[in-house]
Amino acid sequence: MDRGVSAPQSSRRRRLTLAGLAAVVALALGVGAAVIVLTAHRKVLLVGDSITGQSAGAATADLQHEGYQVQVAAGPGTGLLDTTFDWLGMMRQLVARYQPDIVVVEFVGNYGLFGTRPGIADGTPQFYAAWAAAAQQATDILSSGHAQVYWVLGPPMARPANEAKLRALDVIYLGLRAPGSPARRAFFVDEVRPFSDAQGAYLASVVGPDDKPVPLRTPDGVHLAVPAGTQRFADALTAAITANNR
């Protein structure tokens, strides 16, 4: 995905949707509305694309501070429909090898860099149908060992076309089931609100202690700025997990 101008109306609509309804692999091995208490959940697996890769360091530090063990599988540019990178196969291996208690999944819709599927063009109804099927398969796999599965919603994108695509994917994620988990449904990490301003528009930066802007996002309008953006993303992720596991 790339970025451009902000899209305040689409970001605002997506925040309202969330309020109404409750993303080459770097592999390190070796929030729903209801609150459930599962204190035995101590192993966390973070799975996703470049945004997961960017935020992995901050998220790992935060979660370790809370007493969790963390492993990360992040593939920049990858998505659920790649034909030369098999995320579903990788997820099966991760579950078998690591046996996570909690899995956080983040995919913003990358498609094409690692192969396309015949008859499926990016952004078409066929694309969204195939992505929805793959997301449900991923949830089935990741919850097969009774793990809590969290899907990341957001963060908003600067370019309207990218934001519209991500909003559509978030609606898909909100409808996922997790039959192998104790709650039998997916949980969510809201990364929309932390990266939106008071009017619900895309938030590129915040004002720092010296009254100078501190970037949260990079100029492409997709990725996270270091360190403020990656830390803000990690903070929301950690808060969602700890809220359900006290």
Flag whether 232 is in a domain. Answer: yes
Is the pLDDT reported for residue 242 higher than 80? Answer: yes
Buried b (16+ CB within 10 A) or exposed e, 86-102: ebeebbeebbeebebbb
Residue 56 included in any domain: yes
Q: Is the pLDDT of residue 199 over 60?
A: yes
- Find the mean pLDDT for residues 85-107: 97
Query: So what's the pLDDT on residue 146?
Result: 94
Tell me the percentage of the chain whose pLDDT exceeds 70.
83
Domain-located, residue 1: no
Higher pLDDT, 10 or 216: 216
Domain around 29: 8-244
Per-residue pLDDT at 73 exceeds 90:
yes
| Domain of residue 237, CATH code | 3.40.50.1110
Q: How confident is the model at residue 40 (pLDDT cuts 50, 70, 90)?
A: low
pLDDT value of residue 43: 97
Q: What's the total number of domains in the chain? A: 1
For residues 132 and 177, the answer to whether their CB atoms sit within 8 Å is no
Q: Is the dihedral of CA 188, 194, 196, 197 positive or negative?
A: positive
CA distances from 130 to 118, 138, 169 (A): 11, 12, 11
Q: Residue 21: which pLDDT band, with cuts at 50, 70 and 90?
A: very low
| pLDDT single digits (tens) 102-141 | 999 999 999 999 999 999 999 999 999 999 999 999 999 9
Asked if the structure places residue 164 within a domain, the reply is yes
